[in-house]
Amino acid sequence: MANEHVILMPGGPVADAVLADVAVRVSTLRAKGKAVGLGTILVGDDAPSASYVAKKHKTSEAHGIDSHHIHLPATATAVEIHAAVARFNEDPAVDGYLVQTPLPDREMEGAVLEAIDPDKDADGMHPMNIGRLAHGIDGPVPCTPAGIVAMLQHYDIPVEGRHVVVVGRGPTLGRPLSLLLSLKRPGGNAAVTTVHTGVPNIADYTRQADVLIGAAGVPGIIQPDMVKPGAVVINGGLSFRGKKEKPIVMPDVDEACEDVAGWITPRLGGVGVTTVAMLLQNTVMLAEQRAGG
């Protein structure tokens, strides 16, 4: 029987609120003679990556941000990719940019990430910016974790002092999200437990969570019997199955968790739509810093 009392948390209203603020800040900068520019570097023709990049630029342009894009073939060498990174590092019209991952050769990703100017790191994933986050120093914050925190704040879900369990420890989501939620800052100051596929009996931890977040990229890793009745359940982790040309999105949180949760993100239109909004928020923040305030 479906849970009639569960409250859905769509990401659209969260993203709309963030983007409305972004548009005002972009307009303010333009009035001072400063355009805001977002850059992307795409290597290869991976369908989900190309779709993400197109969405980022469409949303940017709709909110007054100039788009800059470099598309390299899947056969691009490390030298060619680093040359594209250097081009954006030096381009004064680009305030923030990202290299879309995964790269065709994943072994290149660490070196490419480190080559990005930390003060143009729109994704918030440069080691220096992760270090800033760990020390509570202002800087660009990884976009999907920031979107999840924004979602909790938007729906007035208290986190401070509560037990949050994050299932996943990856560098783009689980790890920085655990940091964000534990720091003494708005939307944080929680007791955070991080578990992952290397931990036996994950359910022993998840059943204790006031707020449970899937961040592993493992389809259905969170099942209904792993959820404390009435808990807040957020799906952050996604993976893809099926044909490369038409992949099927597979969430970490099984849809049947809706029967147990008090609050839950929808299968589609949840955290994902907030990620682009937070990317633009990072970009306008970097532009403001470059403009001197």
Catalytic residue among 46, 95, 121, 123: 123
Half-sphere exposure of residue 146: CA atoms within 13 angstroms, side-chain side: 23
DSSP-derived secondary structure for 88-141: HHH-TT-SEEEE-SS-SSGGGHHHHHHHS-GGGBTTS-SHHHHHHHHTT--S--
| 70 strand-pairing partners | 41
208 catalytic per annotation = no
Catalytic residue among 46, 56, 95, 281: 56
117 catalytic per annotation = no
66 catalytic per annotation = no
Closest CA to 49 of 112, 99, 84: 99
208 token code pair = 């204790």
Alpha helices for the chain (secondary structure H): 12-31, 47-62, 78-90, 109-115, 127-134, 143-154, 174-182, 203-206, 272-291
Catalytic residue among 95, 100, 252, 281: 100
Positions annotated as catalytic residues are 56, 100, 123
